[in-house]
Amino acid sequence: MKRAIVLIAFFSLMLTMVGNSCSLPRHQPGSIVYKDCTGLIPESIKAMVRENVDNGLNVGMVVGIVAPCGSEFYSYGTTTLSGDKPVDKNTIFDIGSIGKVFTAILLADMVEGGEVSFDDPIEKYLPENEIVPTYNGHSITLLDLASHTSGLPNVPDNFNPADEFNPYADYTVEQMYSALKAIKLKQTPGEKYEYSNFGMGLLGHILALRSGMSYEELVIGRIANELYMPNTRSLLSPEMEKHLATGYDDGVVFPLWDNPTLAGAGNLRSNTQDLLVFLAANMGLDDSSLYSAMQVTHEPRFVANSDIQVGLAWHIVRRDNIPIIEHHGATGGYWGFAGFIDEKKTGVVVLTNTFEDIGEIGRQLLMESVVQP
């Protein structure tokens, strides 16, 4: 329990501190990522990766970058502390809250298909007997959930995990509904940004109910299969099992987190190559039926603070007045970063099997790409 609360508090603190695309040639999904483009990752970034691993901050780390010319990967370290197998672009990691942007894209895609509306109140899709909070007659909408402006807390008030090494595993749908019923909103939904795992998890649950599928089936059917991302799943395939990196925090093994009820907040595993395919599609480097829906999720909608704007799940962080569209993901023994500069059509993924923030490596690589010809 203590472990989960520390992690939750970290994300709340982190988020308080910190357009139209140009025309590019289109390709079949994933093709640009499979074209080698050397020189995209400078030696300075590789040195940072090696230093982190050699100093024991990270067990293994994989960096990937995709640009109009293709992609490049750099990996260092191992899948376990015993050092028996090196990490690489195929290594599977828990990607935590990076999964939130998948949830937002599912919403935007369903809006485009006329299945739901951004302005729909959440009670429209929940069981009739369930009570949901309102504020002065204002309901929480699907858009509020996706933009972290619902007024729901970061985690439900009745969140009390039995296992701090897998804190979301025993949280049930019944508990979620009970927590929703008991909440007293403090402001009108849609007016104030507050990062909420609860809200994004509830959104994933609602979209699953609307589709008649599980959350994982939605992700696979509408995103992973469309983009050809065979190694992005909640449940590991036998092939993914072979490539799974063990997660660590300060030398202690942490298992993959299971999050069946609040899956929309983060319950996916993936590798660097799949996530570069995902970023390439977001930037229009690869052709995809999801491109227009993805663009909707990038649009800034709320201001979190002077440096950060919020789209649908994505956070837009300005560095030297350059907008980086990004999201982090961290669970007990893993950390991930996925971000891109749309104007440069360059995206970066950094994954590690250690609870150690590697976001700055991702941002620095993106900023290095700005000065490259």
Q: Output the CA–CA distances (angstroms, integers) from residue 163 to 194, 200, 252, in the order listed.
A: 26, 22, 15
Q: What is the pLDDT of residue 305?
A: 87
Mean pLDDT of 284-290: 95
CATH number at residue 204: 3.40.710.10
Q: What is the pLDDT of residue 19?
A: 31
pLDDT band at 371 (very low <50, low <70, confident <90, very high): confident
Neighbours of 42 (CB within 10 A): 16
Mean pLDDT of 226-234: 97
Mean pLDDT of the chain: 92
% of the chain exceeding 70 in pLDDT:
92
Q: What is the pLDDT of residues 1-59, one digit of tens each?
A: 445 444 543 444 344 333 333 333 334 567 899 999 999 999 999 999 999 999 999 99
Contacts of residue 47, defined as CB under 8 A and 6 or more positions apart, other chains included, come to none
Q: Give SS3 for 139.
A: strand
Q: Which amino acid is at 238?
A: P
Tokens of 129: 């007997």
Mean pLDDT of 229-246: 97
Which of 223, 249, 285, 225 lies closest to 98 in space, CA to CA?
223
Q: What is the pLDDT of residue 29?
A: 61
DSSP 8-class letter at 86: B
Which of 147, 138, 153 lies closest to 189 in space, CA to CA?
138
Residues paired with residue 196 on neighbouring β-strands, in sequence order: none
> What's the rounded Cα separation, in Å, for the pair 47 and 219?
35
Q: What is the pLDDT of residue 370?
A: 83
> What's the rounded Cα separation, in Å, for the pair 373 and 369?
8
251 in the Ramachandran plot: left (φ > 0), alpha (ψ -120 to 50) or beta?
left
Of 30 and 198, the structure prediction assigns the larger pLDDT to 198
Q: Number of folded domains in the chain?
A: 1
Residue 72: pLDDT above 50? Answer: yes
Q: What is the pLDDT of residue 66?
A: 98
pTM for the model: 0.92
Q: What is the pLDDT of residue 22?
A: 32
> What's the rounded Cα separation, in Å, for the pair 283 and 260?
30
Q: Which helix (H) or strand (E) holds 5?
A: helix 2-17
The domain of 344 spans 2-371
Q: What is the pLDDT of residue 364?
A: 97
pLDDT band at 84 (very low <50, low <70, confident <90, very high): confident
Q: Give SS3 for 34.
A: helix
Mean pLDDT of 249-258: 96
